[in-house]
Structure 1
Amino acid sequence: MPKENKRRGRREEQKKRKRGHDDPDAVSKRHKHHGDAAEPAPEGGVSFQDEAIDDVTRPGAMPFYGMLDDDEQEYFKRADEMLELNQFDGPEERRLFLESVYKEAEGKELKLANSQSCSRLMERLILLSTPKQLKNLFQKFNDDFVHLVQHRFASHCCEALFIQAAPIVTQELSKSEPLQTPPSSDPNEIYVSMENSFLFALDQFEPYLGFLMTDRFASHVLRVLLIVLSGEPLEKESKGALHSKKKEKISVAGADRTQELVLGKRKVPQSFLDALEKVIKDISEGLDSSYLRILATHPTGNPTLQLMLKLELSKFGKSRAKDEHSVIHKLLPDDPILEGTESASFINGLVYDPVGSRLLETIIENAPGKLFKTIYGEFFKERMGSLARNEIAGYVAGKILERLGKDDLEEATRQIVEQIPGLVERNRTAILKTLIERCAVRGVDTAPIKAQLEQAYGAPDGFEITRLLKLGEAPSEDGKSNSKHDHSHPDKVHGSLLAQAMMAIPGPLGNLIFDSFVNLGEPLTLRVARDTIASRTLQAALTSPHATIIFRRKVIQQFYGKVCELALDPAGSHVIDAIWEGSHGLAFIRERIAEELCENEASLRESLVGRAVWRNWRMDLYKRRRPDWVKQSRYAAGNEGFQSFPESNGDATHVPNQRAGKQPTAIELARRKHAEAKAKKDATHAKKEKKGNNMSAEGDNGSSKGKGKASVPAH
């Protein structure tokens, strides 16, 4: 018999209602207590503040800007969809549409920016706006920037506005490009430069910089503003220190690079640098050392502190470290820094902290040489091996290796080499990649690293690249893996990067990878080619300048009969693309691969990645004008004179033509030398044969004379 549908906890709710009826203030007090917790606030509610720190000036309560009605929301949602698809007949039609949207949004800009559903439209409008429209938005936001940057949705609009307006400052400064700002019909309109628009916005932030540094949303906008003022580049991929990893990408279909949230290195006015210096100075003077050290381990404040420290030392000189009011001096005030001082305790506390270690990396990377040598000698010189073992401190050790001279690097290498078996066992190979790269730069012997890696990844058959690339279980007969997630993604990435670093330098380290690939066998090689991460190592091996022509020939020949299958694979298609460059000096192999692609044209044209391979291999030219393709292919392959397939008798003895403007390669010189020696040998042999023929002819003539004399009858 079915049970009655009862809701759990109804007795407790009855008790709460009774308590609320008896004491009306109790409910309101509880609600107030829950409101103080760090929970997401509703639209237009209080701002997000991660672990808010006292003793900083806070802005007032966030105002409520109102809400859009149903008809307005429906209109702006349709406009957002049209802008996202970007299916206009031309730029003029899109310009007229933008003007109509801006006209409809007149007076509603703040509502749009704070709306969960329509703030995306505001971001797309900013991406497509003219300089004049961006200036108008600055004016609309002008008195509310402090509140907007704290809002969950409006903060993204402010960030996009700052990034899109930054290049306009450079254009106005140089006057080299038109600003698309026609003269206004309003005689009372006052012209405001984009430079002043930024400075007006910055004036609103200055009283609350200490608070904004730790705000969940405002801190991202503040960091972008500091980048804009400094003139430093802001790349689309840069996340963590500047952008949140959860940031949603707002784009327009078919938009060019100028309509993406990226910034290149650019010239900025002196007023921006002065404003940046003032901001950093105000923060360092307004906040004491204890507050800055709290920010060093604060999840939200740490990235902003990193950026301030980096800009202070890179834009205003390393000598700022001696200034008592500088950020780095506030963090490390002791001179010299010795064990037992506050600075020593601060550094030791950052080494193993997941958040604070990132600030320590920034200090090591940007500190003046004298300060770095003091920190390294006092805290890290004898600890490089133990630092490399730790999951967090290993990244600090990597930054240290990048600044060491040859002698110190040799000592650090000795300590880290002893830890290689443990590092391999724990899959902490990022430090080994950095170590190999720095040894190549400083000229340090890598033979000890090679010996330890060969032993750590060794097997009865020698070094196993599959262990380094974390390919896991044995593949099936067709070369495909039976499991999709053999190892965690970061471990595989670090293994692939280590292998690529080993191949980047000539010598025994790279030969470990090359020899292992040759000995893999066809099934495992195909499996590597299909793996999304491991295939990058195979691509690097085929295109490496240190790979021998014998290695490339042996590896590429394993793909015969599987070229189409790999060309249709998202990862394998990049391997086929790499074969084009990897067949340098192997024109007959390049033609063999092209022939196999041509046989599977229909399958390739039906696939997106297949069409990319077809285009990269210039297969249309191969089908229509094959002699031209062969000529270009052999010219690009670098062996124009070596045109025959391996099965031919090799009668081609002419010398390869040297490419115009380029020195002949080693294989070309070898072929030229071989052709000259063969020609000389043939000439000598021909001369001997000719001389022998002449002598035999003379002998024949003598004998014939003798016979003639003998045949004369005696009288």
Structure 2
Amino acid sequence: MPKELRKRGKKKKHTTEVEWQSPKEPTKPLPQETPSWIVSAPKTSAEDDTNSDAPFGYVDNDVKAYFRTVDIQIRDWQNAASERDQNDEEADPNEERRMFFVAALTEMSGKEKQLATDADCSVVLERMTYSMDDFVRRVFVDSLTGSYDLLVKHRFGSHVCQTLFTVASQTVSREKRGILPTVPDDKGELRSLTKLVVDVCEELFPVLPSLVTNSFASHVVRALLLLLSPQSVPSHDASQHAMRSKKSASWKARQAPFKSVFEDKNRKDAGTYTPPEVFSQTARKFVEVIRNKLDENETRALAADKVASPTLQMVLAVEADQQMTEDTDSLMDRVLVGLVASSRKDPSATPPVSDYLNTLLRDPTSSHLLETIVSHCPESAFASLWATYFKGNLPRIASHPVANYVLAKAIDRVSISQLTEACQELQSIWTRLIQTSRTGVLRSIIDRAATLGACGSEVIEAVSKAFDAKTAEDRNLLVPCVLRLRTVQDYQAASQSQSQEQPSKGKPAKRPSKDTIEPSVQGAILLQSLLRLPEPHYQIVTESLNALSEEEMLSIAHHATSSRVLDALFESPTVPHKIKREFVLSFIGRYHLLVDDRIGSRVGDRCWAFSDTYLKEKIARSLISQEQFLAASYYGKFFARNLNLYLLQRRPDEWRALQTERHKPAQTAPASQAPVEETPSKKHTEAKKRKRDQGGDEIDELFNAAMGKKVKKAALVESISTESDVLQPNKPTKQDRGLSDVLGAIRAAPGDHKGKRRL
């Protein structure tokens, strides 16, 4: 009988008894019937598609593998284009790239929606969008029509839409100028990109309120608003930050550069982007749709939402640009709790204080919205806002870690009387603001005084009180104190402790405190703002600079942060030419130490560019004794090239004429005219080529003649003069400098002269 095959596991006992259930095992509760009055809302297909990862289907694996190769190839071309841009070489797209790109577009046809919602292929579409021409972009935008409400809410599709609207400004700008691509006959009627963008906005208007609060769609809405109304955003950098989150922007920065692989200098459009008139009407409709679909409480709730607040800021900026803020029930009037309407009816009336606005003032998220409001609200509304929420509370607001930014933005709009009252009200807390490194309010007051051209004495008093500079000697230390954001007493105590900590001979040096030595960016910005004050208030900075020692001045010029103060001295329109000239003369005798540094060499170039011919000659003659030092310096040798000390010592008249020609404005000289300093070198090169073509060296012949035959001194001088005439045919030659010219020619001539006899 064959042996029974045993199975793995424990042998099961066959019992007919009912097994006892352990009480430790939880028993499942019986399902309870839901009450009849509770009815769950049915989920629509649109909501199911929005929450799914692939609302339009998954991409085939072979297609994904192909687009990975496309991504690698485009990255290589973009990196190669970046290297050519750094080398100032022209990027010439070849036919191979175009054929490769056409093949990728052919493979993409019919699969745009699936590729846009794929985690890997969506990035490839973004990269390809920058290389698309106007016709392909129109086809791509048109192929997504009807699905934008789903794409803008998708995690990956939203970035594709955002990139499309970002690069669309180039095509729209060309369409506005009448530059339209040819459309093939078999493609049928294709709308322009301007009309396509308007149709996309019409498609998104019914669901616009939900897009504002969506974490993915809100960035697309900002990109659309920026395309429709670019003047509503103050700067390009701020617009880029508004379109992408910090996480998305940091991720994109780690990728290869997003640029066209066919980009060349002829295709770049000059000037800024100006939207067409239909975009202005569409932007106005954006504001009207949000007004109609949201009530007052829902609008105010958007202010504290981290997702919706940046979008609401752009909408308020567009509303102000369209001059719609003073309309009845405007968005800005809703956020300000009716303050715009009340100020329009009675400007002298004081509205009641709202706890909602006080919350906006101190909230980290909504305070950015209040900054936009104080910058774009009407004048009457700002006067009521200042009198109600700022006046009388300035010390408490300026000391708050969040509210001080809103106050700094509000000071940019105050009048002369309001600025004077603010300076008087903030007298008691200036020192505390400096000690806590909150300099935004003080900087805004200085900038506003420079813009208005008034309140200069109040500003100087505020600066002196902030840094506790009571006497004239204390004011001489103002520049180093402001740079380090320390009062005069704290700076003197820190300097004394640092001098006492200097080690004696044989002992290791202690590492100095960073805040004692390193200048701060905030302090440098304060000094730059002070230099723009009208006369004579800027002298508080220039007098302190003149009182500094040579070592302190060089340390300021050699630091990347503090050297910006010296740049502002040259750029300030209020500082007279005489003081700038005295500053340049103060470095006479120390220019070789100034330019022997990476940052100091840049300051030396600024001084040289500012100087006239007479001042340049004084600088150059002071450096004749330091010629070897400059030649040995890594940074000083570049500054020595501008000096041209060799020409100054031998032909000073030509040196002065050369500097005078360089000092003239660039537009006065014709573009085809060659630089003056290149002419002698070209002639010198041509002369040497002619010598080599003759098969001999005239210098060698001169030496051979001097060694083989007895040559009289006069003949030798005459021959040397002839050689000098060959090198410089248009220059007058003197016999007393003929020998030095021939030695200079020997040094400049290529080849090895070790075996030649010296004179």
Q: Same fold (TM over 0.5)?
A: yes
Post-superposition Cα deviations, 1:66-116, rounded to whole Å, max 9, x if no partner, equal: 246363254123223223224597234343443233234334444544444
**For 2:479 and 2:611, how far apart are their aligned partners in 1?**
22
**For 2:585 and 2:436, how far apart are their aligned partners in 1?**
33
Compared CA separation, residues 542 and 443, structure 1 to 2 (3 A): closer
Compared CA separation, residues 441 and 544, structure 1 to 2 (3 A): closer
Compared CA separation, residues 593 and 455, structure 1 to 2 (3 A): farther
Report if the CA contact (8 A) 1:80-1:120 is conserved.
Answer: no
Q: Could you say which residue in structure 2 is the equivalent of 1:428?
A: 438
Q: State the SS of the aligned residue for 2:448.
A: helix
Report if the CA contact (8 A) 1:123-1:157 is conserved.
Answer: yes
Post-superposition Cα deviations, 1:359-409, rounded to whole Å, max 9, x if no partner, equal: 112222111122222222222222233322323222222232222222222
**For 1:522 and 1:420, how far apart are their aligned partners in 2?**
31
Q: State the SS of the aligned residue for 1:322.
A: coil
Among 657, 660, 666, the residue aligned to 1:631: 657
Q: State the SS of the aligned residue for 2:231.
A: coil
**For 1:149 and 1:602, how far apart are their aligned partners in 2?**
61
**For 1:201 and 1:625, how far apart are their aligned partners in 2?**
71
Report which stretch shifted further, 236-245 or 247-256: 247-256
1:185 deviation in Å?
4.6
Compared CA separation, residues 526 and 108, structure 1 to 2 (3 A): farther
Q: Could you say which residue in structure 1 is the equivalent of 2:393?
A: 383
Q: How does 1:490-501 map to 2 (within 5 A)?
A: 492-501=520-529
Say whether 1:167 aligns with 2:193: no
1:260 deviation in Å?
9.9
Q: State the SS of the aligned residue for 2:146.
A: helix
1:22 deviation in Å?
8.2
**For 2:307 and 2:296, how far apart are their aligned partners in 1?**
18
Is there any run of 5+ residues in structure 1 with no aligned partner, and where? 1-18, 27-56, 639-715
**For 1:258 and 1:390, how far apart are their aligned partners in 2?**
52
Q: State the SS of the aligned residue for 2:659.
A: helix
Q: Could you say which residue in structure 1 is the equivalent of 2:699?
A: none
Post-superposition Cα deviations, 1:658-688, rounded to whole Å, max 9, x if no partner, equal: xxxxxxxxxxxxxxxxxxxxxxxxxxxxxxx
Q: State the SS of the aligned residue for 1:562.
A: helix
Post-superposition Cα deviations, 1:569-591, rounded to whole Å, max 9, x if no partner, equal: 2x444323322344357223553
**For 1:329 and 1:447, how far apart are their aligned partners in 2?**
40
Among 307, 322, 325, the residue aligned to 2:327: 322
Compared CA separation, residues 433 and 143, structure 1 to 2 (3 A): same
Q: State the SS of the aligned residue for 1:336.
A: helix
**Seq. identity, %:** 24
Q: Could you say which residue in structure 1 is the equivalent of 2:755?
A: none
Q: How does 1:256-271 map to 2 (within 5 A)?
A: 264-270=272-278
Among 278, 287, 291, the residue aligned to 1:284: 291
**For 1:127 and 1:400, how far apart are their aligned partners in 2?**
40
Post-superposition Cα deviations, 1:422-480, rounded to whole Å, max 9, x if no partner, equal: 22122221211211121233332322332342354357653332232228977999xx9
**For 1:323 and 1:232, how far apart are their aligned partners in 2?**
24
Report if the CA contact (8 A) 1:112-1:118 is conserved.
Answer: yes
Say whether 1:61 aligns with 2:51: yes
1:132 deviation in Å?
0.6
Q: Number of matched residues?
A: 573
1:154 deviation in Å?
3.4
User: What letter corresponds to residue 156 of structure 1 in structure 2?
Assistant: H
Compared CA separation, residues 438 and 233, structure 1 to 2 (3 A): closer
Compared CA separation, residues 628 and 218, structure 1 to 2 (3 A): farther
Post-superposition Cα deviations, 1:190-215, rounded to whole Å, max 9, x if no partner, equal: 22111221122223322222222122
Q: Could you say which residue in structure 2 is the equivalent of 1:645?
A: none
Q: Could you say which residue in structure 1 is the equivalent of 2:700?
A: none
Compared CA separation, residues 231 and 98, structure 1 to 2 (3 A): same
Q: How does 1:63-462 map to 2 (within 5 A)?
A: 64=54, 65-67=57-59, 69=61, 71-87=65-81, 90-93=92-95, 94-175=97-178, 178-179=179-180, 181-186=181-186, 188-232=187-231, 235-238=235-238, 239-246=240-247, 247=249, 248-249=252-253, 250-252=257-259, 264-270=272-278, 272-315=279-322, 317=323, 320-324=325-329, 326-329=331-334, 331-333=336-338, 335-336=341-342, 344-457=354-467, 462=476
**For 1:288 and 1:468, how far apart are their aligned partners in 2?**
49
Compared CA separation, residues 209 and 549, structure 1 to 2 (3 A): closer
Report if the CA contact (8 A) 1:500-1:540 is conserved.
Answer: yes
Report the TM-score when normalising by structure 1: 0.69
**For 1:533 and 1:600, how far apart are their aligned partners in 2?**
25
User: What letter corresponds to residue 633 of structure 1 in structure 2?
Assistant: Q
Q: State the SS of the aligned residue for 1:222.
A: helix
Report if the CA contact (8 A) 2:53-2:117 is conserved.
Answer: no
Q: Could you say which residue in structure 2 is the equivalent of 1:8?
A: none
Among 454, 463, 466, the residue aligned to 2:480: 466
**For 2:621 and 2:244, how far apart are their aligned partners in 1?**
47
**For 2:337 and 2:211, how far apart are their aligned partners in 1?**
24
Q: How does 1:544-555 map to 2 (within 5 A)?
A: 544-545=572-573, 546=575, 548-549=579-580, 551-555=582-586
User: What letter corresponds to residue 82 of structure 1 in structure 2?
Assistant: D
Post-superposition Cα deviations, 1:319-348, rounded to whole Å, max 9, x if no partner, equal: x4232254534652355378885x722222
1:310 deviation in Å?
1.3
Q: State the SS of the aligned residue for 1:232.
A: helix
Post-superposition Cα deviations, 1:291-332, rounded to whole Å, max 9, x if no partner, equal: 1111111112111111111111222x25x4232254534652
User: What letter corresponds to residue 448 of structure 1 in structure 2?
Assistant: E
Report if the CA contact (8 A) 2:360-2:370 is conserved.
Answer: yes
Report if the CA contact (8 A) 1:127-1:260 is conserved.
Answer: no
Q: How does 1:615-630 map to 2 (within 5 A)?
A: 630=656
Post-superposition Cα deviations, 1:129-148, rounded to whole Å, max 9, x if no partner, equal: 21011112102332332333
**For 1:237 and 1:145, how far apart are their aligned partners in 2?**
27
Say whether 1:591 aligns with 2:639: no
User: What letter corresponds to residue 551 of structure 2 in structure 1?
Assistant: P
Report which stretch shifted further, 122-131 or 440-449: 440-449
Report if the CA contact (8 A) 1:76-1:118 is conserved.
Answer: no
Say whether 1:574 aligns with 2:602: yes
Q: State the SS of the aligned residue for 2:592.
A: coil
Compared CA separation, residues 433 and 636, structure 1 to 2 (3 A): farther
Compared CA separation, residues 292 and 91, structure 1 to 2 (3 A): same
**For 2:516 and 2:115, how far apart are their aligned partners in 1?**
45
Compared CA separation, residues 518 and 195, structure 1 to 2 (3 A): same
1:417 deviation in Å?
3.6
Compared CA separation, residues 74 and 122, structure 1 to 2 (3 A): closer
**For 1:484 and 1:78, how far apart are their aligned partners in 2?**
48
**For 1:456 and 1:332, how far apart are their aligned partners in 2?**
37
Report if the CA contact (8 A) 2:116-2:125 is conserved.
Answer: yes
**For 2:140 and 2:651, how far apart are their aligned partners in 1?**
56
Q: State the SS of the aligned residue for 1:156.
A: helix
**For 2:657 and 2:457, how far apart are their aligned partners in 1?**
43
**For 2:628 and 2:206, how far apart are their aligned partners in 1?**
68
